[in-house]
Copies of this chain bind each other. A is one copy, B any other.
């Protein structure tokens, strides 16, 4: 959709002044983008993206939820497909409420998951009802 996106913030990287267009966005600009629930609650911010090397697709957005639940900073990987960008809010919108968030796969700082075998990724995809990237034949 030719949505009008918010204009680029001041560039942090020389030469990257046009970090966002209607169809492209710089990965470096996604960092720190807020995430909202459909109801408009600010849930956290995007910490980093996990890329699937084979397909070149963004597989997960890792969001930090900075202790607003009173349980310290936690990291929630969300399948990229569950995030919708909302130009009006200047952030991503996901279908989750706090209950769903509580039950979602997450980890604390200092205890990162083992993505290697695919089991953890499948658990994430299953939870969010996302089409899994961890098909047959992947390690």
- A residues touching B (Cβ–Cβ < 8 Å)? 2, 11, 13-19, 21-28, 30-31, 47-60, 62, 64, 73, 75, 80-81, 85, 107-116, 118, 121, 133, 138-139
Please determine whether B2 and A109 come into contact, CB atoms closer than 8 angstroms.
Answer: no
Copies of this chain: 2
Q: A15-B112, A16-B62 are in contact. Are A50 and B31 (CB under 8 A)?
A: no
A65 to chain B, nearest CB (A): 11
Please determine whether A110 and B55 come into contact, CB atoms closer than 8 angstroms.
Answer: no
Please determine whether A27 and B56 come into contact, CB atoms closer than 8 angstroms.
Answer: no
Please determine whether A54 and B23 come into contact, CB atoms closer than 8 angstroms.
Answer: yes
Chain B residue at minimum C-beta to C-beta distance from A54 = B23
A-B contact pairs, 8 of them (CB 8 A): A15-B75, A15-B110, A16-B47, A16-B48, A18-B113, A18-B115, A23-B115, A26-B50
Please determine whether A14 and B110 come into contact, CB atoms closer than 8 angstroms.
Answer: yes
Chain B residue at minimum C-beta to C-beta distance from A1 = B54
